[in-house]
Amino acid sequence: MSTEVARTVRPGGRRRAGRAAPGSATVAVIAVQAAIWAGATAVLALWWVDTASVVGPAGWFTGAGRITGLLAGYACAVLVVLMARVPLLDRTLGTDRMTRWHAAAGRYTIGLTLAHAVLIIEGYALTGRTDPVTEGVRVVLHYPDMLKTTAALLLLLLTAVVSARAARRRLSHETWYYLHLLTYAAVFLAFGHQITNGADFDRLAVRAAWYVLYAGAAALIVWFRMLTPVRLSRRHGLRVAGIRREAPDVVSVLVTGDRMDELTVRPGQFFRWRFLAPGLWWTASPYSVSAVPDGRSLRITVKALGGHSAALATVRPGTRVWAEGPYGALTPDRAAGRPALLLAAGVGITPLRVLFETLPRDPVLIHWARRPEDLVLRHEIDAIAAHRGARAHYSVSHPTGYRLPLDAATLRGLVPDVAGRACFLCGPPSWTAAAEAALREAGVPAHRIHHESFTW
């Protein structure tokens, strides 16, 4: 038996779900991917147009070095755009997908950059009839902008090391975040040698296009990562109104300000919050809005998982707050008119609690936690379930005997029409993967499973 609170909809209260289409998110994914690949094709065309013939091993190595260099330069620009948090891309593609694409772009950038360095030096060494080490030293010391480019390569490699899963587990989020910003420095340092040494940039039109590409990427970063958060914070004057403890290691933070009714926040979205208090001001952390915005305040609910989140319990009312956002595509329109199933683990309940209150059709919520006291916001969810005639189910691992297995049979037993629902997930990565697998086994198609996480 589970620790379950159920509010069951009257028989016959459900309407038969229609057939769902993949939706606008799929169209956006295809469009953005097509744009990225079209840009890569255009970059390859530069080499093709400027290369009359390839002769001998030296020509093949040098040609391959030019190709990988062009693609690495293009990948740098794509990497920066994916870091810019452009709201349109974030709303249509989703934060999870953008994060995965950014990580993939980083791997491609580093791989292409290393391949470019090795191939071009080998090609030059064969042409000059010398060894690669001697040729490499000559290129670094005597070619324009190559010392800066070498520093850029080292910074990219450092970023790759700290981004590896094993390294991330040993670093705080704040340390990882600031080391990750070295990517900007690497891109800046590497740009010069592309123009001065690139054989494909002799024509003015090509150089101008490359400058526009990089200037556009930089403008997105400046506008969306720097100027927009400053404008939002100055306009709304956000500040902490109060702190409420929800569980032994969980607090809710109420934020108020000016013109709060002008903040367009959709259920399920999050901000990156920077609290201007000692020890907290230097980092911005993502937290979901955990209550339906009322035009006067915003609320977040935070579990103490590290130094920053634990310190929020000590923030004083009146503390100024800077916020970036709102971000995220885990919003009601993802349901596409279908009834929804909401699956949460631990503090992942925060965005789903808002969706549970606002989704229009017969939502069902299941919340997994370790202990009863970890069922954060349960009193609010029970009140919503009672008011709406909806259903909420709870599972805890301790004490034993009150745990719901996360499998297809359990989901079908609790929600017989699970295969026809839009499903929203929020929780740790391993739990999310298990929940997604259970939903797929229960007959839910992949395009109707929606989740976002704030892992790094």
HEC assignment per residue over 81-103: HHCCCCHHHHHHHCHHHHHHHHH
| Whole-number Å distance between alpha carbons of 236 and 259 | 6
Confidence of residue 91 (pLDDT cuts 50, 70, 90): confident
Q: Taking 60 as the threshold, does the pLDDT of residue 87 lie above it?
A: yes
Note the pLDDT tens digit of each residue in 118-177.
999 999 999 999 999 999 999 999 999 899 999 999 988 888 887 776 666 677 666 777
Is residue 334 within 8 Å of residue 326, measured between CB atoms?
A: no
Q: Which amino acid is located at 32 in the chain?
A: V
Residue type, 95: T
- For the entire predicted model, the pTM comes to 0.77
* The listed CATH number (3.40.50.1260, 3.40.50.150, 3.40.50.2300, 3.40.50.80) that belongs to domain 332-451: 3.40.50.80
The least confident of 6-20, 251-265, 280-294, 310-324 is 6-20
Of residues 400, 435, 449, the one with CA closest to residue 94: 449
Please name which of 240, 227, 226, 324 lies closest in space to residue 276, comparing C-alpha atoms: 240
**Contact, 346 vs 374, CB < 8 A?**
yes
CATH of 233-327, one of 3.40.50.300, 3.10.150.10, 2.40.30.10, 1.10.357.10: 2.40.30.10
pLDDT at 29: 86
DSSP string, 275-315: E-STTTTT--EEEEB-S---SSEEEEEEE--SHHHHHGGGP
Q: What is the 3-state secondary structure (H, E, C) of 311-378?
A: HHHHCCCCCEEEEEEEECCCCHHHHCCCCEEEEEEHHHHHHHHHHHHHCCCCCEEEEEECCHHHCCCH
Percent of the chain, pLDDT > 90?
Answer: 51
Kindly report the number of other CB atoms within 10 A of residue 405's CB atom: 12
pLDDT value of residue 24: 56
Q: How far apart are CA 18 and CA 373, in angstroms?
A: 39
**Distance (Å, rounded) from C-alpha 202 to C-alpha 240?**
56
pLDDT tens digits along 195-226: 888 878 888 888 999 999 999 999 999 999 88
Residues of the chain above pLDDT 70, percent: 91
Residue 7 has pLDDT above 70, yes or no: no
Task: Dump pLDDT digits (tens) for 340-394.
Answer: 999 999 899 999 999 999 998 889 999 999 999 889 999 999 999 999 999 999 9
Give the residue-averaged pLDDT of 105-121: 93
Strand partners, 366: 343, 393
Question: One-letter amino acid identity for 139?
Answer: V
SS3 (DSSP) at 143:
coil
Strands 250-256 and 297-303: antiparallel
* Buried b / exposed e along 218-231 (16+ C-beta atoms within 10 A): bebbeebbeeebee
Element (H, E) at 137: helix 132-142
Cα–Cα distance measured from residue 396 to residue 368, given in angstroms and rounded to the nearest whole number = 6
- How high is the pLDDT of residue 166? 65
Instruction: Give the pLDDT mean for 26-41.
Output: 90
CA distances from 300 to 240, 253, 353, 354, 369 (A): 11, 5, 11, 11, 19
Cα–Cα distance between 329 and 96 in angstroms, integer? 9
* pLDDT level of residue 5 (50, 70, 90 thresholds): very low
Dihedral (CA of 105, 111, 116, 119) sign? negative
pLDDT at position 34 over 80? yes
pLDDT single digits (tens) 434-452: 999 999 999 999 989 998 7
Whether omega before 399 lies within 30 degrees of 0, making that bond cis, reads yes
Least confidently predicted of 50-54, 102-106, 115-119, 237-241: 50-54
Output the average pLDDT for the chain: 86
Contact 141, 150 (CB under 8 A): no
CA gap 210, 203 in Å, rounded: 11
The Cα angle at residue 323 between residues 384 and 213, in degrees rounded to 5? 120
- Is 25 within 8 Å of 93 (Cβ atoms)? yes
Q: For the residues 37-66, what does the mean pLDDT come to?
A: 89
Determine the pLDDT at residue 454: 55
Secondary structure element (H or E) that encloses residue 271, with its range: strand 270-275
Confidence of residue 270 (pLDDT cuts 50, 70, 90): very high
Say which residue, 248 or 208, is predicted with more confidence. 208
